[in-house]
């Protein structure tokens, strides 16, 4: 019998980009009691909304994915919103889960929690050795408080909670809104917009020198469920794919895969963000056997193909 088949599971953010994949995988594992609190009915930034969601679902396992997040532009515009909303959602959800005697709480952190100049690849033991990169520090630090809370609650109450740090996610169905999107969907949209408009170039923020690691969304969902089932300590755990690419190389790859024939114009007056970003996935493999299986180019092809079909209606 599957670990999840007789469990009542709440997935906050379960209707989102990552959440939809995770809920689908839960169903494949035989979980028949999945509760997804929708924002229209439950304001998880407010304690009343959190308490109502728990009262309506009485979950044994809580997987907290709900977040207010975006790329460099959105992080720079709304740091206060990112800090307050993410902090309150996670802290209150974990507290109510503890009060109600939930069996396990899974908190999703962010690679943005790492120090700006942490050694690459990021090792979990380096998480506190410096301040995060400024453009996403508010978001990263709010999420990092889940780790503090998880460890404090385990120490004082014996509460079983875990904290996961995924690399940057991407995949089909990502957020392509230019106001809030991350780098991959933003670049894909720019290429298609330029081709549609007959533009000869696209403009990209920064210098292209920064590096990133990108984890395919289905792989991330699989890692979260493996950790939910098999990992029961509050030491932080990275989810990654042991691959690092410069933004310059990423732009050229997306340009090639979308078929955009034009020029790339860099705007160095705009921020690069963190200089390098890649995580060590050794602990996840050792603790619960997680390994990413999707190569970046393959994942990009799937992402671009769905976006192409969506644009065509």
| Domains: count for the chain | 1
Q: What is the CATH number of the domain that holds 141?
A: 3.40.50.720
Average of per-residue pLDDT values in the chain = 96
Is residue 239 over pLDDT 70? yes
Residues labelled as active-site residues: 139
Burial class of residue 42, CB neighbours in 10 A (0-12, 13-18, 19+): buried
Is-contact 134 274, C-beta < 8 A? no
Is residue 128 over pLDDT 70? yes
In a domain, 310, yes or no: no
In a domain, 196, yes or no: no
Is-contact 165 227, C-beta < 8 A? no
pLDDT given for residue 1 in this prediction: 66
Is-contact 227 284, C-beta < 8 A? yes
In a domain, 190, yes or no: no
Question: For residue 198, what are the contacts with CB-CB under 8 A and spacing of at least 6?
Answer: none
Question: For residue 14, what are the contacts with CB-CB under 8 A and spacing of at least 6?
Answer: 20, 22, 23, 34, 36, 37, 65
Q: What is the mean pLDDT of residues 262-289?
A: 95
Question: What are 86-111's pLDDT values in tens digits?
Answer: 999 999 999 999 999 999 999 999 99
In a domain, 270, yes or no: no
For residues 68 and 146, what is the distance between their CA atoms, to the nearest angstrom?
A: 15
Is-contact 94 161, C-beta < 8 A? yes
Question: What are 168-226's pLDDT values in tens digits?
Answer: 999 999 999 988 888 999 999 999 999 999 999 999 999 999 999 999 999 999 999 99
From the list 178, 213, 181, 199, the residue with the least C-alpha distance to 258 is: 199
From the list 286, 239, 224, 258, the residue with the least C-alpha distance to 111 is: 239
In a domain, 186, yes or no: no
pTM of the model: 0.95
In a domain, 194, yes or no: no
Q: Which structure tokens are listed for 111? A: 């690679």
Give the helix/strand (H/E) hosting 223: helix 217-230
Per the omega criterion (within 30 degrees of 0), is the bond before 121 cis?
Answer: yes
In a domain, 3, yes or no: no
In a domain, 218, yes or no: yes
Domain that holds residue 40: 8-171+214-242+277-293
% pLDDT > 90, the chain: 91
Q: What is the mean pLDDT of residues 43-70?
A: 96
């Amino acid at each position: 019998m599957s670990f999840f088949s007789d469990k009542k599971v709440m997935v906050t953010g379960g209707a989102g980009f990552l959440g939809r994949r995770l809920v689908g995988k839960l169903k494949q594992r035989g979980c028949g009691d999945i509760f997804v609190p929708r924002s229209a009915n439950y304001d998880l930034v407010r304690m009343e909304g959190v308490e109502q969601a728990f009262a309506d679902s009485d979950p044994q396992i809580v997987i907290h994915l709900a977040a207010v997040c975006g790329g460099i532009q959105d992080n720079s515009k709304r740091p206060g919103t990112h800090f307050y909303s993410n902090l309150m959602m996670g802290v209150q959800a974990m507290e109510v889960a503890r009060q109600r005697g939930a069996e396990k709480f899974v908190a999703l952190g962010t690679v943005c929690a790492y120090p700006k100049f942490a050694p690459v690849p990021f090792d979990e033991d380096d998480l506190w050795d410096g301040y995060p990169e400024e453009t996403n520090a508010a978001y990263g630090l709010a999420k990092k408080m889940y780790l503090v809370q998880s460890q404090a609650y385990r120490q004082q109450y014996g509460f079983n909670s875990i904290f996961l740090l995924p690399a940057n996610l991407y995949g089909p169905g990502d957020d392509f809104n230019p106001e809030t999107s991350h780098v991959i969907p933003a670049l894909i949209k720019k290429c298609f917009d330029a081709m549609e408009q007959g533009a000869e170039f696209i403009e990209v923020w920064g210098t292209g020198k920064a590096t990133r690691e990108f984890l395919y969304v289905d792989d991330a969902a699989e890692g979260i469920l493996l950790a939910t089932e098999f990992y029961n300590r509050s030491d932080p755990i990275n989810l990654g794919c042991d691959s690092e690419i410069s933004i310059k190389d990423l732009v050229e790859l997306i340009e090639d895969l979308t078929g955009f024939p034009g020029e790339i114009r860099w705007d160095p007056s705009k921020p690069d963000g963190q200089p390098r970003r890649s995580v060590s996935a050794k602990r996840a493999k050792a603790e619960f056997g997680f390994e990413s299986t999707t190569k970046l180019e393959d994942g990009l092809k799937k992402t671009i193909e769905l976006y192409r079909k969506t644009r065509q209606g």
